[in-house]
Every structure is written in C-alpha cells, then in structure tokens.
C-alpha cells in the first residue's frame, strides 16, 4: 500500500472511532497506530472534520436500519429482555423447587420461579434468609408487555373505552347534567349525576269561608 493510501485508510479508521465516541484521543491514536499529536492535528483540519461527519452519518444510518430507533428494533429489544426475564423465572423455579425452610418444609411458591432469595442481617449479626415475591421482576415484565403493545398499536387507554356516542342534546337531561356528562367523557372532575328534577305538585287550598253571622 502506497503512503497516500495508507494515510487515507488510517484517517477513515480514526474518523470512525471518533464518530463512535467510545474512546479517548490517546486510545484512538494507539488503536490506529499513530501518535496522539497527529490525531489532534487531523481533528483541527476541515477536510478531516468532513470525513468524521460522513462516518457519523453512516453510523446513524446503521442505527436507524437495525437499532432501537426503528419501531421494529424497539419491539425486538422488548421481546429479547422479556425472554431473558422469563428464562430467569424458569431457572429460579428449578433452583428453588427443593428448597426447604427451617422446619424442613418446602418454600411456598418455590417452584414458580417468582421468588427472590433475600439475605438480611439482624442487629445482632444473625444472617436471615427469606424468599420474597419478586414484584420488581413482574412489574418490569408488565412494562415491557405494555410498551410492546403501545409500539404495535394494540394498547388502548381505559379512557378510550368510554362511550362517546351519548346524545348531549337529549331533552331528558338538564343543562347541568349534560355538562357533567361532557366533563366525564373528557376526563374532567365531576360530581355524581343528579336525577332529573321533578316538578313539585302544588295544591291550591281555598280560603275558608267564614260562617254567616260568625
């Protein structure tokens, strides 16, 4: 390889390493087999800065095509993490299935894989072992499932289940009731719906007639 081709090839390597932003300048120089002074001199050169910009654009394209920047990549990542957590449950179920407590009794739920071994030390220095239900693990799995459902368009918020085909012009409702229903549909605070008012029956009493000569 002629000297010019060697320089071009080395600059491409250095530009890629700088674009990845994972190593320090001394480390990049060592990886490329050149001095740190040369690397810093290249960085100050506009032509080399363009090479770095091009390398950075290529890296972003790769991330976009195969990484979590794409919906398919995110869903695949959620699935991979969920599978790993599920494998942990299976392995713990096998590891804890024969575990017994101090009374030589099987640990309840040991074969489910949903227990986590916790070691505590009492104020007196006594080592205490317990098997607690692993809420954080299940919470994380549920969040992964929810995110995957959101990304795939299968998740619907509870508020979306509200019936929005109510006729707010119904004469059977008072203006106050219609307003409360409207607030309920859009999620605003509201009070319990009041029953439709019933017109009070007014009984007119005739005035008593005084007796003659009274």
Report DSSP letters for the chain, one per residue: --HHHHHHHHHHHHHHHHHHT-S-HHHHHHHHTS-HHHHHHHHT-HHHHHHHHHHHHHHHHHHHHHSTTSHHHHHHHHHHHHHHHHHHHHHHHHHHTT-B-TTS-BPTTGGGT-EEEEEEE-TT--EEEEEEE-HHHHHHHHHHHHHHHHHTT----GGGGS-----TT-TTS-HHHHHHHHHHHHT---PPPPPPP-PPPPPPPPPPPPPTT-
Query: For the chain, what is the domain count?
Result: 3
Residues 76, 132 within the same domain: yes
Pick from 161, 205, 166: nearest CA to 182: 166
Instruction: Choose the weakest-confidence range: 60-64, 82-86, 165-169, 176-180.
Output: 165-169
Handedness of CA 42, 47, 49, 55 (dihedral sign): negative
pTM of the predicted protein model: 0.46
Whether residue 60 sits in one domain with residue 85: no
Is residue 178 assigned to a domain?
yes
| 77 falls within a domain | yes
Residue 212 falls within a domain, yes or no? no
Residue 177 pLDDT level (bands cut at 50, 70, 90): low
9-18, 63-72, 115-124, range with the lowest pLDDT? 63-72
How much of the chain, in percent, has pLDDT values that exceed 90?
41
Q: What is the pLDDT of residue 101?
A: 81
For 21, the domain range is 3-66
pLDDT score of 95: 92
Residues 55 and 19 in one domain: yes
Residue 84 shares a structural domain with residue 51:
no
Q: Is the residue at 58 inside a domain?
A: yes
Q: Which tokens sit at 19? A: 């674009």
Do residue 127 and residue 164 come from a single domain? no
**Is 145 inside a domain boundary?**
no
Residue 199 included in any domain: no
Q: For 75-89, 119-133, 173-187, which range has the lowest pLDDT when averaged over its residues?
A: 173-187
Q: Residue 107: inside a domain, yes or no? A: yes
pLDDT in tens, 51-83: 999 999 888 777 666 666 677 778 888 999 999
Do both 83 and 58 map to the same domain?
A: no
């Amino acid at each position: 390889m002629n000297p010019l081709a060697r320089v071009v090839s080395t600059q491409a390597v250095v530009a890629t390493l700088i674009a990845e932003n994972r190593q320090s300048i001394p480390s990049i120089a060592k990886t490329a087999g050149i001095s740190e002074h040369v690397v810093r001199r290249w960085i100050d050169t506009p032509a080399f800065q363009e090479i770095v910009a091009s390398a950075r654009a290529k890296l972003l394209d790769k991330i976009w095509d195969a990484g979590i920047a794409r919906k398919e990549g995110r869903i695949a990542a959620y699935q991979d993490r969920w599978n790993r957590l599920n494998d942990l449950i299976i392995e713990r179920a096998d590891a804890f299935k024969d575990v017994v407590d101090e009374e030589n009794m099987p640990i309840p739920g040991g074969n489910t894989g949903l227990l986590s071994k916790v070691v505590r030390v009492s104020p007196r220095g006594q080592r205490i072992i317990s098997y607690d239900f692993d809420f954080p693990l299940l919470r994380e799995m549920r969040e992964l499932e929810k995110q995957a459902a959101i990304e795939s368009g299968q998740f619907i918020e509870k508020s979306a289940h509200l019936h929005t085909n109510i006729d707010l012009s119904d004469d059977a409702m008072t203006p106050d009731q219609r307003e409360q229903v409207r607030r309920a549909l859009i999620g605003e605070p509201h009070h319990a719906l009041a029953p439709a008012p019933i017109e009070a029956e007014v009984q007119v009493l005739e005035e008593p007639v005084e007796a003659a000569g009274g």
